[in-house]
Amino acid sequence: MAKAKIKPLADRIVVEPLEETEEMRGGLYIPDTAKEKPQQGTVIAVGPGRRSEKGDLIEVEISVGDRVLYGKYSGTEVAVDGTDYLIVKESDVLAVLG
């Protein structure tokens, strides 16, 4: 697992999307442009959490190393040192996969 040089703020997390492998469907090659965006990834970094209206810190429930499922169009894609990452809010994570 790579260590990201990104420190997310508030309740955001940095996810390294899983690579989709080339697939043959019915003997046809699926080009990169036709593949769907991955919706699973590994959490690389986690922010400290968000603040409530009273100023209390509400910590993020997701941990570094968790494999997560997130919304198809969630987050912001960034590239750091040639590696693609996705920065998403905790609320955009649909589930932690076990």
- 1, part of any domain: no
**pLDDT tens digits, 52-89:** 999 999 999 999 999 999 988 899 999 999 999 999 99
Where do runs of H (alpha helix) occur along 1-98? none
Q: For the domain that residue 71 is a member of, what is the CATH number?
A: 2.30.33.40
Which letter, b or e, does each residue of 18-47 get, where b requires 16 or more Cβ atoms within 10 Å of its Cβ? eeeeeeeeeeeeeeeeeeeebbebbbbbbb
pLDDT grade for 4, boundaries at 50, 70 and 90? low
pTM metric for this prediction: 0.78
- 77, part of any domain: yes
- Quote the number of domains for the chain: 1
